[in-house]
Each structure stands twice: as structure tokens, then as C-alpha cells.
Amino acid sequence: MSAVAEILKPQLTADKLINSIAYDEEATRALALEHCNRTFESLDPERRVEWAFENLPGNHVLSSSFGAQAAVSLHLITRVQPDIPVILVDTGYLFPETYRFIDDLTARLKLNLKVYRAALSPAWQEARSGQRWQQGVDGLKAYNEENKVEPMRRALRELGVNTWFAGLRRRQSESRARIRYLEWAGGRWKVHPIADWNDRDVHYYLKRHDLPYHPLWEHGYLSIGDHHSTVPIHEVSTIEQTRFSGLRRECGIHEINLADL
């Protein structure tokens, strides 16, 4: 029986499914990944996380920006794997409320926090290049690359990551509307357990588990990043404009190609 036919068998087990990803045949990989994503459609987020730990290769990590609704993914995933490394990329420009939120959740959930930063301090970068987030698309891209993308790539390499959990949701923005539960590249996996959740699902989870929103949430901050380029929703027309004046919605962290690590 061909590898493709094996994947299409109804009784395909998780082990066979994962092993099929390793085949060189492009069609086989595509079918196996599609099967995984269809399987996740029928699972709740708790079971998606359990399945990923049971079947996807370690080392596992969770990334978090400690944004508005970050407590959901932090709680959901550490309930299954309490000591999972939690990667935080610190630009040095986060809101004071964010740093306190990080401290509070780290203590409350006993997080295994791993903080990564750019090689140069914010002050040194500004002395060399000025405030690049105010220098158009190219300046913003360079700022994000040095302060967000490079530290995250370094974290994934140094921690030897094979499976990366992230709390991205399709309802968060147009740029995330088509994210899948599972992505695969170069033998590494990315998992979005709550990809299909809306704000109501998030609210009920936080309430059920007595978890907090980011303290700036009640002030209209729906997407929270650096203090110099984040504004509340009542100051703009769309959620995309709450970050980087609408020039970019994504900083590049979640566009990292796992095959290139």
C-alpha cells in the first residue's frame, strides 16, 4: 500500500499519522497535515493540547507576549505540562503594566519563564539608529527584526524546539484569519490550540478559572505590545490600527520559517 493510501485509511493511528510526515513525498506530507487539522476540528482545546504532547516531538515550548488575553494559553498549556518553557521576547519597551502582569502570572501559574532580548540595549539602538518605529515601513521592519524576530529565532534554536505552542486566534485580526491548528516545516511543529476561539470563548475560560485580563484591557487596549506603538481601540478605526499605526499588524515572530532554524 502506498504512503498516501495509508494516510487515507479511516483507522489511521496518531503514530502512523505523525510518522507519515517524515516521508519525502510532498503529497503524503500535505495529506497527513490536512488529516491532523481536520482531527483537531472535532477536539476541544484541552484535548488538542494533550494530543500534541502525546504525539508531537519534544522539546515543547510556549511563546507568550503577555498580551490582553494571554492567561488563557498560559493556563491551558501549563495544566498539561507545568514546566514547559515559556518564551517571552522583551523589547525593553513594554508597558509598566505588562511587566507587572508578567510577574503576577509567573508567580501565580509557576511559569518556567525564559526571557530573550536583543543583543543591544534599547538606548544603544536609539543612539545608533533613532526611533525606527517612526521611520516608515522599512524602519519598523528593521526594529522588529532586531528586537523581536532575532531573539525568538535564537530562543527556538537554543532550546532545541521541535514543537511550538502559540495562542494565536483567527478572530484577532485579518492577518490571522486563516491560521491552522497545526503547521509543519523542516521536522518542526507549530500548534495553535485556540485558533477557532472568539472573544466570548476567551472570556468564559478566564472567568471559569478565575484568571485576569491584562490590566490595560479595561482601558480599551485590545492588542498590547510596545508602549511607543500601541493605542487603544477608541483612538482608531480598526483593530489593525492599534499597532504600529496600521503599517503592520504582525511583527514577524509568527512568520518565522521553522525549516530555517
Q: Which residues are catalytic?
A: 251
Nearest to 54 by CA among 11, 18, 8, 9: 18
Nearest to 52 by CA among 157, 183, 153, 152: 183
* Cβ–Cβ under 8 Å, residues 36 and 17: yes
Q: What's the rounded Cα separation, in Å, for the pair 136 and 55?
A: 43
Give residue for cell 478605526. Answer: 237
Which strand (E) or helix (H) includes residue 85?
A: strand 85-89
Axis crossing angle, helix 26-41 with helix 14-21, rounded to the nearest 10: 140
Nearest to 143 by CA among 226, 63, 70, 222: 226
Nearest to 55 by CA among 19, 91, 85: 19
Q: Which residues pair with 188 in a beta bridge?
A: 185
